[in-house]
């Protein structure tokens, strides 16, 4: 067995630990979660607390809690924690020690060695400080690895051909972009640019400013100068910001925000996007600079990898596509990619084989149709779930009716990358009717949820009234399926006498002849069981039992349709058992 070396992403906001086991990269849960806030504190009894527990007391006890110590690494300073003082290395060592202890608990063996990642822009002092923090935590730091290199390794960089990649890393507090080149298996950061004061925290601040203005307009109360209120507001708006990555708007309600009045605010994604656009444009400038450093154009980039929680902002992905013609990859969770890459590097040092990271993603974009705002008013496809999104996923966009008193909308779902519906694959459609009779512009929220089995649930909701309709569609090439219709179908409408498979196609008759009698018996049994099941479903049985019966009847019909006699035998047995217990 190879030696155990773990990979650690010691991040500004969060830290993670990963390891290669049985050829696979595995994230190690820390306090039950793959992500641990890089937060250190002292509890009221003066005991050291690390991670989420420390973060929980951040608002209530800021003087006894430290977040973002990474920004101070390499500085010869002491930071106060309660009535004590610590160096940045010491604080970081508390974080590393917690990761080590939790990792040992999970893996059931001591952890002595680690690869720890640092930003590409970290200077020698900052790297040494990280090494010292590792030593203090009882870890031999076998390699300090650049974060963009780790990201490239996580995406299999260097595994096959030479490649040029761009790593776009937008975290809570910092942004950096790196050009990473792989040549003959060596992964190297060629250029790196960034802004150490640009990140998701700034987006939160813009939302806070907006909310403060709105509160003042509505209540003539200025929240500025009230730090505890502003901290509370920031926590609420950070949460809302995350929601805006998946939903077109979010309602924020904070009761008694100033002790007397509630904050009630609706944030719309497109307004939020206007707020953060200037900041994101700065990140595009950094990309241009780093490409210019190595005399490359965007066309020379083969892969763009997204790192950092704030890259979940849809506008980030859109700007990269539309302005830079770069197709970003986000199959690997941007919060975890660096730790995973560190684990790949650790595994390589420990002599493990090269590993791939498995992720379930959708290889196609799922879109709906809408009338374009251009002068031609053409019907175009609007992406809801972009391709390469990890599964399961759920995304929403808002649309508006085009006609006055329009009381229905035909919702269509397509799969494909084209803007033109006819060039994509049609998946299904349905009509939502009974919408309010109001002037054009009535907002309808269209949500798509795609599960690991390729089932797409499309929901249209009239925003003003909540009127909603959902249809589940099978994206694997079958016909659209209305859940309610399907339920009814399963419960009573499957006509076994008409099910294909009862009479085998001619060319197979001979081969099947000997088995015909067995099949006949299985089919007769299935028919009898279905009749008993239908009778039972009309009686007062529990919803769970009814669902189980419907499932079994459905699976039995499926087995008959596929002429899978072995499965039919099993379904018959299972259904017979259930009926036996439920029939009196």
395 in active site: no
Give 206 or 221: the residue with its C-beta nearer to ligand AMP.
Answer: 206
For residue 38, the minimal CB distance to ligand AMP (Å) is: 9
Annotated active-site residue in 89, 98, 163, 169 = 169
Give 313 or 369: the residue with its C-beta nearer to ligand AMP.
Answer: 313
How is residue 261 written in tokens? 């009045």
Please report, as ranges, the residues that interact with ligand AMP according to CB under 6 A.
11-14, 171-172, 199-201, 238, 241-242, 245, 308-310, 312-313, 335
70 in active site: yes
Helix (H, G, I), strand (E, B) or coil at 11: coil
3-class secondary structure per residue, 262-327: CEEEEEEHHHHHHHHHHHHHHHHHHHHHHHHHCCCCHHHCCEEEEECHHHHCHHHHHHHHHHHCCC
How is residue 512 written in tokens? 């099947």
Between CA 398 and CA 446 the distance in angstroms is 6
For residue 340, the minimal CB distance to ligand AMP (Å) is: 14
CB distance 522 to 565 below 8 Å = yes
Question: Which has the closest alpha carbon to 16: 357, 334, 316?
Answer: 334
CB distance 529 to 579 below 8 Å = yes
From residue 475, alpha-carbon distances to 26, 359, 388, 394, 416 in Å are 30, 19, 15, 15, 11
CB distance 154 to 135 below 8 Å = no
For residue 200, the minimal CB distance to ligand AMP (Å) is: 2
From residue 267, alpha-carbon distances to 250, 275, 277 in Å are 5, 12, 16
CB distance 203 to 313 below 8 Å = yes
9 in active site: yes
For residue 245, the minimal CB distance to ligand AMP (Å) is: 4
For residue 65, the minimal CB distance to ligand AMP (Å) is: 17
Annotated active-site residue in 147, 176, 247, 462 = 147
Between CA 369 and CA 377 the distance in angstroms is 12
Give 279 or 536: the residue with its C-beta nearer to ligand AMP.
Answer: 279
Contacts of 442 (CB under 8 A, 6+ apart): 400, 401, 406, 435, 436, 462, 463, 464
Give 88 or 308: the residue with its C-beta nearer to ligand AMP.
Answer: 308
Between CA 406 and CA 402 the distance in angstroms is 8
How is residue 457 written in tokens? 């649930």
Query: Within 10 A of 366 (CB to CB), how many other CB atoms are there?
Result: 26
Give 309 or 347: the residue with its C-beta nearer to ligand AMP.
Answer: 309
Annotated active-site residue in 55, 70, 303, 395 = 70
DSSP labels, 124-144: HHHHHHHHHHHHHTT-EEEEE
For residue 314, the minimal CB distance to ligand AMP (Å) is: 9
Between CA 235 and CA 245 the distance in angstroms is 16
For residue 25, the minimal CB distance to ligand AMP (Å) is: 18
Give 384 or 546: the residue with its C-beta nearer to ligand AMP.
Answer: 384
Sign of the Cα pseudo-torsion (494, 499, 501, 503, in order): positive
CB distance 168 to 287 below 8 Å = yes
Between CA 479 and CA 458 the distance in angstroms is 14
Give 12 or 412: the residue with its C-beta nearer to ligand AMP.
Answer: 12
Residue 436 CA neighbour count, 13 Å, CB half: 15
Annotated active-site residue in 9, 16, 195, 247 = 9
Give 396 or 424: the residue with its C-beta nearer to ligand AMP.
Answer: 396
Helix (H, G, I), strand (E, B) or coil at 478: coil
For residue 498, the minimal CB distance to ligand AMP (Å) is: 49
State residue 307 phi and psi, 5-degree precision: -130, 145
169 in active site: yes
Length of the chain: 584
For residue 11, the minimal CB distance to ligand AMP (Å) is: 6
DSSP 33: B
Between CA 519 and CA 512 the distance in angstroms is 9
Task: Identify the residue whose tokens are 């035998």.
Answer: 569
Give 239 or 478: the residue with its C-beta nearer to ligand AMP.
Answer: 239
Q: Of all residues in this chain, which one has the CB nearest to ligand AMP in the complex?
A: 200
Give 313 or 459: the residue with its C-beta nearer to ligand AMP.
Answer: 313
For residue 510, the minimal CB distance to ligand AMP (Å) is: 60
Report how far Cα 380 is from the mean position of its chain's Cα atoms: 26
Catalytic residues: 9, 70, 147, 169
């Amino acid at each position: 067995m190879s030696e155990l070396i773990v990979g650690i992403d010691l991040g500004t906001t969060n830290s993670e630990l990963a390891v290669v086991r049985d050829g696979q990269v595995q994230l190690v849960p820390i306090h039950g979660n793959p992500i641990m806030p890089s937060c250190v504190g002292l509890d009221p009894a003066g005991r050291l607390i690390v991670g989420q527990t420390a973060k929980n007391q951040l608002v209530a006890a800021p003087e006894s809690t430290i977040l973002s110590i990474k920004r101070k690494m390499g500085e010869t300073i002491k930071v106060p924690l309660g009535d004590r003082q610590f160096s940045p290395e010491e604080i970081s060592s508390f974080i590393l020690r917690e990761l080590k202890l939790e990792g040992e608990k999970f893996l059931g063996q001591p952890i002595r060695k680690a690869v720890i990642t640092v930003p590409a822009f970290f200077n020698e002092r900052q790297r040494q400080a990280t090494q010292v923090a590792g030593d203090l935590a009882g870890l031999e730091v076998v390699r300090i690895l650049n974060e963009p290199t780790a990201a490239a390794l996580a995406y299999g960089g260097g595994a096959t051909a030479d490649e040029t990649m761009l790593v776009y890393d937008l975290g809570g507090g910092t942004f950096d972009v790196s050009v990473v080149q792989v040549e003959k298996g060596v992964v190297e950061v060629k250029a790196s640019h960034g802004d150490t004061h640009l990140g998701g925290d700034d987006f939160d601040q813009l939302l806070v400013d907006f909310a403060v203005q709105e509160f003042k307009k509505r209540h003539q109360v200025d929240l500025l100068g009230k730090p505890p209120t502003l901290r509370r507001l920031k926590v609420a708006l950070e949460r809302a910001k995350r929601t805006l990555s998946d939903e077109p708007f979010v309602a924020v309600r904070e009761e008694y925000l100033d002790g007397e009045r509630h904050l009630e605010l609706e944030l719309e994604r497109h307004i939020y996007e206007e707020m953060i656009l200037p900041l994101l444009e700065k990140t595009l400038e950094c990309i241009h600079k780093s490409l210019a450093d190595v005399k490359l154009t965007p066309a020379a980039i083969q892969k763009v990898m997204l790192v950092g929680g704030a890259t979940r902002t849809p506008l980030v992905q859109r700007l990269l596509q539309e302005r830079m013609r770069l197709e970003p990859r986000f199959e690997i969770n941007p919060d975890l990619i660096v730790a995973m890459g560190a684990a790949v590097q650790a595994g390589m040092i420990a002599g493990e084989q090269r590993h791939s990271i498995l992720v379930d993603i959708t290889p196609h974009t799922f879109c709906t149709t809408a009338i374009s705002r251009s002068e031609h008013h053409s019907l175009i496809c609007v992406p809801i779930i972009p391709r390469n999104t990890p599964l399961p996923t759920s995304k929403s966009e808002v649309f508006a009716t085009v006609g006055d008193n329009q009381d229905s909308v035909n919702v269509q779902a397509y799969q494909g990358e084209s803007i033109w519906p006819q060039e994509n694959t049609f998946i299904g459609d349905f009509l939502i009717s009974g919408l309010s009779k109001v002037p054009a512009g009535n907002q309808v929220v269209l949500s798509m949820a795609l599960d690991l089995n390729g089932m797409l649930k499309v929901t249209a909701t009239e925003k003003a009234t909540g009127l909603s309709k959902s249809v589940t569609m099978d994206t694997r090439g079958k016909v659209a399926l209305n859940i309610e219709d399907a339920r009814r179908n399963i419960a009573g409408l499957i006509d076994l006498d008409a099910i294909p498979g009862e009479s085998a196609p001619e060319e197979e008759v001979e081969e099947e002849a000997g088995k015909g009698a067995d099949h006949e018996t299985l089919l007769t049994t299935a028919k009898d069981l279905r009749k008993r099941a239908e009778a039972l479903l009309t009686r007062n049985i529990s919803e769970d039992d009814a669902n189980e019966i419907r499932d079994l009847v459905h699976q039995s019909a499926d087995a008959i349709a596929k002429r899978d006699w072995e499965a039919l035998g099993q379904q018959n047995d299972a259904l017979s058992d259930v009926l036996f217990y439920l029939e009196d």
